[in-house]
Structures are given as structure tokens and as C-alpha cells.
A and B are shown apart, each in its own frame.
Chain A
Amino acid sequence: MLSRILWSRASQRLLGVAALAAWTAAAVYAQGAAGPGVPTPAPPERSQQSPASQRPPATKVSQEYSAAQVEAGRTQFASQCGFCHGRDAAGGAGGTDLTRSTLVAEDVRGDRLGPVIRSGRPGQGMPAFALSDGDLAAIVAFIHGQKTQAETAVGGRRGVEPSDLQTGDAADGKRYFSGACARCHSATGDLAGVATRHQGLVLLQRMLYPGAGRGGDPPRVSPSVTVTLPSGQVVTGKVAYRDEFTIALTDASGWYRAWPASQVKFSIDDPLQAHADQLGKYTDDDMHDVLAYLQTLR
């Protein structure tokens, strides 16, 4: 439910902020996530939200599809979706493993998948697809079929399991944390219980760069900006859009306001910049150690 609410809010913000992006953001071959200053508009699915479950989320409502529809969907899926999500829907170049997707698990005959496929997720590089109702239904049928197969299969073919990520030393990680991370984070403050909220790959991704990658969780913090107008008036808010020519924010009342970047003074405070800077400093051991330490914060 939480993710549904976030999604609809984000959709509204997306419409207001970057309507153009919807038709420009066709998936680029093997492109990565957008950098900072370009807010990720659509919150991704929370594939490992429940602390109790390390298994892929199970289909909520079982659904049956005809073999012909699934086969038609296989063809459509391969050509439209397969490059990023894999022909078998279990992940490809950059796209998430749909057989482990919460959105798919919660979908009933396209009620959740349809809007995402039709609108895309521009912030995460997923384009909008203009499909007929029949083609869309076939793709949905195929995805559910693949998910059913994956639920009965043994082992995740392209998955990363929490058990894979247990090579670090928590004591070393704690030392590293107090040197590199403690300026912004606290084990008893913002990160208290983080390991009960996130595990495995999701925790690792959030640790490295919150909101990282497709299917990553949205960051809980976003860049804020202070804009000083020529009149001397000061406006503050969350960065809504930023490029070389435009600075835009969402103010406290939720309004989008934009200015030519050359005609105002502004300063951006991006709390995530420290994460980007840290990426060049971690050794792989450091990374595993800090993860091991975060895993103790239950």
C-alpha cells in the first residue's frame, strides 16, 4: 500500500515536472541511473520490503491464462521488453528480474502492470509502450507465467541472495563507518533498525548510493536548494529539476517554481554527494565490511 501511495504521488510530480521526459526517455542501451540533481520521479518496487521474507514475493491472486495468450505474450515480451528484462523476464541488461518483482506479485490481470508499461518509468530509463489492449494482456499473461515457473524453480538464476553477501567483518565495518559515514549517519539515529527494513542487495545498493539502479529504493533524502531572486527574495525547496539553464524547486506548499539558472543565485545542498564521493574510496573489503556492520543494526 505504501508503495502504491508513493507511486501515485510521484506520478503527479512527474507530470508536473517533466512531462517531456515521458516521451524522451526511451530505454537507452545499457544506460545507468540518472545522476544527482535529477530526481528519480518514480519510486521503484520494494522487492525485499518484508524482513521475514527472503524469497521472491508470491503472487497474491492466482490467475490463469490460455496457452495461446502466453505464447503471444512471449513474442511480444521478447521484442518489446526482453532486452532489458531478459527474454525469460528474469532480468537482462539493466532491467529488473520481473519474476521477483513485488509489482508483478500484486498485479491482477494487468491492473498494476498495465499503467507502468503504458506510462514507463522515465526516471529509471523505462520508456512508455504504446500497446494494444490485446498485446498488453498477452505480455501480462507471459510475465505471470514466467513468475509461476520461477516460484517453482530451485535457485535464482541471476539473483543475488542475502547469503551471498556475508563476507565482510562487522568490527572492521564499524571502524570504517565511524570514520567515513558518521558525519551524516548514526547507528542509533537514522540507521537504527536499518537491517530490519532492508536486507541483502537492497541494503547494499542503499548503502552505496540510495536510489541506485533500476529497482532500487528511492532515497529518503533529496537535494534541497536555496534560490535568491534578483529582488533579494529567498526561496527554498527540494530540487525538482536542474540542468545547465534551469533551476526548479518544489516549495513547501508543493508548488513547482522554476527560474533561468543564469538570472538567479542558488546553492544546492545534496546530502547524497557524500555517497558519490565515497565510491572512489571504498575497497571491495571496505564495502563488504560496512555492509556487515549495517546488518548488525537490527
Chain B
Amino acid sequence: MNETLEQRLSMLLDGETTPFETKRLVDEIHCNPHIKALWLRMNKQRAALKGELIDPTLDISASVMSHLNSTPQISHLNSKPWQFSHFFPTHYLKACCYLLGFFLVLSSPLLNLKNFSPSDSFSKLSNPSKTFNRNIPLPGNEALLVDLGSNFNGNLKNYRMVSENAIEANYQLPDNEAVKIKVFFNDVPQSERLNLLESGITLHTKSGNEPIVLNVSSDQISNSKLIKISNTFFTK
């Protein structure tokens, strides 16, 4: 990269920098008053060009940041958006589980439901009840999987229970590449560990307060892209 710092700032203004470069420039803007002034001027210049400059001396950034710094750290900012507990508060989730269980027990003779065990075949999103598992409420699982995908713009295509404590989900990326994520709700079984080592990137993280293990793999995308995707799941 032969670009000067000014040129890279110009690229940042246009959203043309890589995430790595963005981080570096953000640090530069923060630490170097000269660079900060240049960034401010570049933005004012753009506003002037577009007829949106109302006051050349306007700068509300200091007051916004001082307000943000004076308020307590917002806890959810440090957790990922797909965390289970955000969507299903525990008390609500428990009530739903009881109601669902009660309903199924009552309705099973009517609906002729003989087998609640995990299915081996991939479920369709339109018919999620095929993979019902008593231990893991399915609607919660599906929301979790959809939100996992939203971290990297992945559309959930299908998923299946691979064991009592694990789900395998397939996603499609915007450019039609496929990514597979295995979610283990407890630790990874010993028998599975070696397979996972060979098949992708394994992360230990949390869903709400519960530890989960994610294995991200794909036979279509590069390792660096796979690493980028897996980085989106890290919680601080």
C-alpha cells in the first residue's frame, strides 16, 4: 500500500477501506489532532459540496462523546446481538416451554405424533417441527440460528439436530457461497473434536449466559474469509 495517510482518509470517507485499515485510521483520528482536523475538514468539504453545510464551525462530536462517556457502559454493547437472552428473557422462555410441552402432551393423541426424537433429515424452515427436541426449544433455536447468520449476512437455508445437544445449520452468503455452522450447546464430545479440527474454525463463546461451541466451516470460501466470519462471533 503506497497511499498516503490523507489518501487513506479520503478512502475512509468513501467507505472504501478494509476493516483493518478502518481500525487503523480510527485510531489515527483519535490520537492525532492534525488527522482529526483533516477528517473534520474533509467531511465539511463534502457537506459544502452537497449544499448541506449550515455552519462551518459546527462540531457536536465533543458533547456527544462526553455524554456517552459520562453514562454507564451499556452492557448490551459488549455482547453480540444474537444472544439468546435478548430475544427470550428466561422467565418468558420458561413459560413458553411449559405451555408448549403441555400443549404437545395434550395434542399428541389427536395429531398422531409418535416420535419426538431428533430427525436425521434436514428440516425445512417452513416446517421446523420436524426437528423438535424436548431439551432445546425449537423456536428459540431457529431465532438463534437466524441471528447467528445475520452477523455475517448469511441466510439460514436449513438446519438439523445432529445430536441431542448440537445443531448443524447451513447458510448462504450474498454471493451464493455456502457456510456451515455447528452449534454445540454443551462441550464438544471427544469423538467430534478431531473432526472439527480438520473441518473449520471452532470457537468457544456464549449464548446468553450459557456457554456454546461454534464450528464454522465451508468448502467454498477462503480461510481468510472464514476467519473474518468467525471473528464476528467473538464477544468481548
A and B are partners in one complex rather than unrelated chains:
no
